[in-house]
Amino acid sequence: MIYIGIPAHNEEHTIGVLLWKIRKVMAEFGRDFEILVLDDASTDGTAEVLERYTRVLPLTVIRSEVRLGHGRATERLLREASERTEYPKRDVVVTLQGDFTEDPGSLVEMVKAIEGGADLVAGRVEPDALPRARRLSRRLATLLLRRAIRKAPVSDPLCGFRAYRIVVVRKALREIEGGALTRDGWAANLELLALLAPHARRIEESSVEVRFAHRQRETRFRPFQAFRDLLSLRKVAWPAVVLLLTLAGGTLGAAELMAQDAERSPWSAPIESSVAPVPFGPGERMEYQVKLGPLAVGEGHMEVHGVESVRGERTYHISMGLNGGIPLARVNNLYQSWLDLDQLTSRRFIQDQNEVRYERFRHFEFYPEERRWERADVDEEGELPTDLPLDDISFVYYVRSLPLEVGETYTLDRYFQESGNPVVVKVVRRDTVEVPAGTFNTIVVEPVIQTRGIFGEGGEAEIHFSDDEHRFLVQMKSSVPVVGSLSLHLAEVRRGDNLRSFDPDEVAASLLP
């Protein structure tokens, strides 16, 4: 059995795709596995994302109501794996981060090394993948480690992506009363290696691929705190000169990483001058009653979570979720999109569908300037037919921003897959509809994307937008294969904080062909 331990604190944007990638990796690897995630007092949507995946993965979520920090969270996961295993000499526990910067595919070679006789396999990030100052910091920390732990031939002691034979973990933890790890972050990775290395007969290294662009939050590395922790580590006599050099290198490395995060920050440039005047903004949330024919069968939502950075570009993080159904025909879908503030271009799209017996997960990263896309969940890439791509959900928000004059037809070649173009949007009439949230005057549109799905040809989709400055999606009806007539009815709405006043004519002038 392979236990995969992941400490997670506020990782709602990455933990889902990480879990799905692990599922794919392990399905191809052909080994039995269990995923253990410690939700370390997250205050965002991490718990909700994890709950969804407990239904489809061999996943156990351990919730801590108080913040443990990386070190103690990792130790708790190791103890959990040690208690669960029936074969500690054979079974393996792997630890990695929840921010998806480390490629889960790297665990395959680690586990193979354990199966080949190693007791501890340390991940090694190749120097070229790190910022210059971070490389210096790692090199100096390695000198410290070699002086302190001569039995650990490890060139990257700061990397926490590792595999352990569980009997080694069990022996080390058995010797220590109470908590074993007292430090956090980098220091915890060093401390853990110091504790386990003496019990490992053979230690090996394995290359780890990292992609820092996948991290959807700022780095949590704090140099002075980290090196205070390093200084106070028990059983380690740090040479003062080398420690000072490491402190300097680590500070530079952190400064460089923080500068990179600042460049990616959504607030690094004035907002007003570089934002399209759209009718929605951060904080907006619409909740729906979902009906199958005349029957209320579930609930849904559409939400603008906030402004987030994707590779230095400011985006709205938006989502649409549907959950419900009837016995033997359940639907639990979540779509997420990251829509550029200025050009209203999709930068990322995550599609997580669970419909009756059909499951589909896709994570697209869009590079409009290069007119290409790549999948983060599988090794696949392709060409974008446009440098202004939109996905299924961002298209709805884009259409909300158009003038929508009755009788107009918009023909748009902006769907990210060529087979879905052109997208035709017909503005057919004005109407008045009554929904649980109240009575609304609406503008009715008929969108058609040349693909399967709720907006596909033959679905006869009809969307009612509120005929005001908000353009709320009040009602949507569509014919869905197998399921039948599906409709959403607005039950509750919360207005967002628009970054600019809505001006559909300006949007049309700047973005329509």
pLDDT value, residue 323? 84
Reference 196, options 101, 282, 46, 95; nearest CA is 95
* Same domain membership, residue 390 and residue 260: no
pLDDT value at 243 more than 60: no
pLDDT band for position 296 (cuts 50, 70, 90):
confident
Mean residue pLDDT of the chain comes to 81
pLDDT value, residue 215? 46
* Same domain membership, residue 483 and residue 372: yes
Beta strands in 98-214 (DSSP E): 120-125, 162-165, 203-208
In this structure, is residue 270 part of a structural domain? no
* Same domain membership, residue 308 and residue 201: no
pTM beyond 0.85: the answer is: no
Helix, strand or coil, per DSSP, at residue 398:
helix
Q: Range with the lowest mean pLDDT among 37-46, 171-180, 231-240, 467-476?
A: 231-240
pLDDT value, residue 379? 84
Euclidean distance between CA atoms 246 and 141, whole angstroms: 6
Over range 138-149, report the average pLDDT: 56
pLDDT band for position 504 (cuts 50, 70, 90):
confident
In this structure, is residue 187 part of a structural domain? yes
Q: Find the CATH number of the domain harbouring 131.
A: 3.90.550.10
pLDDT value, residue 195? 86
pLDDT value, residue 305? 85
* Same domain membership, residue 255 and residue 298: no
Question: How far, in whole angstroms, is CA 73 from its chain's centroid?
Answer: 20
* Same domain membership, residue 207 and residue 354: no
Domain containing 223: what range? 2-264
pLDDT digits (tens, 9 = 90+) for 333-375: 889 999 999 889 999 999 888 766 777 889 999 999 999 999 9
* Same domain membership, residue 247 and residue 128: yes
Q: Range with the lowest mean pLDDT among 181-195, 404-418, 431-445, 492-506?
A: 181-195
Instruction: Decide which of 94 and 253 is more confident.
Output: 94
Reference 423, options 392, 384, 379, 469; nearest CA is 392
Over range 169-180, report the average pLDDT: 77
pLDDT band for position 53 (cuts 50, 70, 90):
confident
pLDDT band for position 258 (cuts 50, 70, 90):
very low
Reference 426, options 449, 397, 393; nearest CA is 449
Q: Range with the lowest mean pLDDT among 80-84, 232-236, 383-387, 492-496?
A: 232-236
pLDDT value at 390 more than 80: yes
Pairing of strands 92-95, 2-8: parallel
Phi and psi angles of residue 358, each rounded to the nearest 5 degrees, phi first: -110, 125
* Same domain membership, residue 283 and residue 229: no
Over range 433-452, report the average pLDDT: 88
Helix (H) or strand (E) holding 51: helix 46-53
Euclidean distance between CA atoms 344 and 174, whole angstroms: 56
pLDDT value at 185 more than 70: no
pLDDT value, residue 267? 39
Q: What is the CA radius of gyration of the chain?
A: 25
Token pair belonging to 359: 């499951």
Euclidean distance between CA atoms 215 and 39, whole angstroms: 17
In this structure, is residue 387 part of a structural domain? yes
pLDDT value, residue 513? 63
In this structure, is residue 269 part of a structural domain? no
For residue 273, the 8-state DSSP code is G
Does residue 268 come out as left (phi exceeding 0), alpha (psi in the -120 to 50 range) or beta?
A: alpha
* Same domain membership, residue 223 and residue 294: no
* Same domain membership, residue 281 and residue 170: no
Do residues 325 and 292 lie in contact, with contact meaning Cβ atoms separated by under 8 Å? yes
* DSSP string over 55-105: TTSSEEEEEESS--HHHHHHHHHHHHHHHH-S-TTT-EEEE--SSS-B-GG
| Identity at 263, one-letter amino acid code | E
pLDDT band for position 499 (cuts 50, 70, 90):
confident
pLDDT value at 135 more than 80: no
* Same domain membership, residue 127 and residue 78: yes
Do residues 232 and 243 lie in contact, with contact meaning Cβ atoms separated by under 8 Å? no
In this structure, is residue 123 part of a structural domain? yes
pLDDT value, residue 250? 43
pLDDT value, residue 331? 76
Do residues 363 and 377 lie in contact, with contact meaning Cβ atoms separated by under 8 Å? yes
pLDDT value, residue 451? 58
| Cis ω before 422 (30° cut-off from 0) | yes
Does residue 244 come out as left (phi exceeding 0), alpha (psi in the -120 to 50 range) or beta?
A: alpha
The residue from 264, 288, 320 where one domain ends is 264
Euclidean distance between CA atoms 320 and 337, whole angstroms: 9
Over range 506-510, report the average pLDDT: 70
pLDDT value, residue 150? 55
The residue from 214, 242, 264 where one domain ends is 264
pLDDT value at 269 more than 80: no
Q: Range with the lowest mean pLDDT among 110-124, 207-221, 332-346, 488-502?
A: 207-221
Burial (CB count within 10 angstroms: exposed 0-12, middle 13-18, buried 19+), residue 417: middle
pLDDT digits (tens, 9 = 90+) for 201-229: 899 999 888 765 544 455 555 454 545 55
Q: Which residues of 337-363 are buried (b: 16+ CB within 10 A; e: fewer)?
A: bbbbbebbbbbbbbbbbbbeeeeebbb
pLDDT value, residue 511? 64
pLDDT value at 237 more than 80: no
Question: What's the number of domains the chain is made of?
Answer: 2
pLDDT value, residue 247? 41
* Same domain membership, residue 306 and residue 257: no
The residue from 238, 264, 290 where one domain ends is 264
Largest CA distance in the chain: 79
Helix, strand or coil, per DSSP, at residue 19:
helix
Euclidean distance between CA atoms 191 and 148, whole angstroms: 11
What is the CB neighbour count within 10 angstroms for residue 313? 19
Burial (CB count within 10 angstroms: exposed 0-12, middle 13-18, buried 19+), residue 480: middle
Q: Range with the lowest mean pLDDT among 80-84, 397-401, 448-452?
A: 448-452
Do residues 379 and 363 lie in contact, with contact meaning Cβ atoms separated by under 8 Å? no
Quick one: angle between helices 132-148 and 185-196, nearest 10? 30
* Same domain membership, residue 142 and residue 103: yes
